[in-house]
Amino acid sequence: MMNIREKLEQRELNNLSEYATKVVNSAGRKIPEEKSDLRTDFQRDRDRILHSKAFRRLKHKTQVFLSPFDDHFRTRLTHTLEVSQIARTIARALDLNEDLTEAISLGHDLGHTPFGHCGEGVLNELVEGGFHHNIQSVRVVEVLEKLNLCQETIEGIRTHTWGFEPTTPEGKVVQLADKIAYINHDIEDSIRAGVISEQDLPKDCIDYFSPIQSKRLSKMIHEIVNNSIGKAEISMSEEGWAYTTKLRKWMFENVYNESSPAKLEEEKAKHVIRELFNYYCRTLEGKCPQENIVRVVTDYISGMTDRYAVERYKDLFIPTGLKCDARDDNLFKLAHETE
């Protein structure tokens, strides 16, 4: 009799596309483990990421707008969930491995800094050899949290950033889903914030996709699915990709650029990161090997949430008045005077 995990593995072999990554063919984990009787290895990867501390911290990390008071703006966590939803939809439609796709999606931004890409940019300037959140995400799962994930999951996380070439079709799906997600939800958030209006968007792109976000998102997903069915290569149609790229470029020029209202607080955020970095490097002098200091500080700061970074900055650099024990003398005084 096969156990549940073995049935799931057999179902993959029977039902998934010839191009899909089957878990029985996985390169496995660096440290071998006993198999689960309920879950496949890719399902266990997903669950380990979901229960990691780094995943929980994403809820207080910036997507585009720094620490928004409006609860409807995206954070790095909600971005991650939207990437997962889009990627799973595509993977399911193409008969790819949905479990591997979900694991890569949930883990792709675990190494992101506080304050989004501006925080990443500061660390990239300060750290010799640069800082890249996809590489840091791999370090999170391999070194900092020791999740011992499958090689396919780790490789998908590493290559989700544009400029890298995923080695599995599931990794390619996540790479495309990441772009589709942030283009669309950043448009919605920017309109909500009053940074742009719907009428500002490039007319030819909107005519091609739709002015309605749900329809625009659906069109982009269909462009990938319809162009990739039965193929080893996962890609959007040439025309669809041209309009997607144009829309992405427009967002960089009008929303992501440094003069945009969305970026007005970024110089302050950069200052916070720089000051914390320099302070912690000085603090560790003589307390750990010199060659490890920058690595330790980079790991610490990149793991911070926006609000934790701000609080640490306040604690370290903003003077406070003398604190006295809280007393309720006035309460009793008022009670006595009103007798």
State residue 303's pLDDT score. 97
29 SS3 class: strand
Q: Checking phi first, is residue 277 left (phi over 0); if not, alpha (psi -120 to 50) or beta?
A: alpha
The structure tokens 């942030």 sit at 182
pTM for the model? 0.93
pLDDT digits (tens, 9 = 90+) for 165-187: 999 999 999 999 999 999 999 99
- To the nearest 10°, report the CA torsion of 35, 40, 44, 46: 160
Q: Which domain holds residue 230?
A: 4-262
Top pLDDT among 206 and 69 is at 206
pLDDT digits (tens, 9 = 90+) for 184-221: 999 999 999 899 999 999 999 999 999 999 999 999 99
Locate the DSSP E strands across 22-73: none
Domain-located, residue 303: no
Q: Residue 248 belongs to a domain with what CATH number?
A: 1.10.3210.10
Q: How confident is the model at residue 328 (pLDDT cuts 50, 70, 90)?
A: low
Neighbour tally for 66: CB within 10 Å: 21
CA distance linking residue 284 with residue 182, whole number of Å: 37
Give the list of residues 6+ apart from residue 90 with CB closer than 8 angstroms, or none. Answer: 96, 101, 173, 176, 177, 221, 224, 225, 234
DSSP state of 229: T
- Find residue 150's DSSP bridge partners: 29
Q: Which amino acid, 50?
A: L
Q: How many domains does the chain have?
A: 1
The structure tokens 């739709």 sit at 210
CA distance linking residue 284 with residue 57, whole number of Å: 24
H helix intervals, 160-288 = 169-192, 203-209, 213-228, 238-254, 266-283
pLDDT digits (tens, 9 = 90+) for 279-317: 999 999 999 999 999 999 999 999 999 999 999 999 999
CA distance linking residue 104 with residue 167, whole number of Å: 12
Domain-located, residue 271: no
Domain-located, residue 284: no
Neighbour tally for 290: CB within 10 Å: 9
Domain-located, residue 221: yes
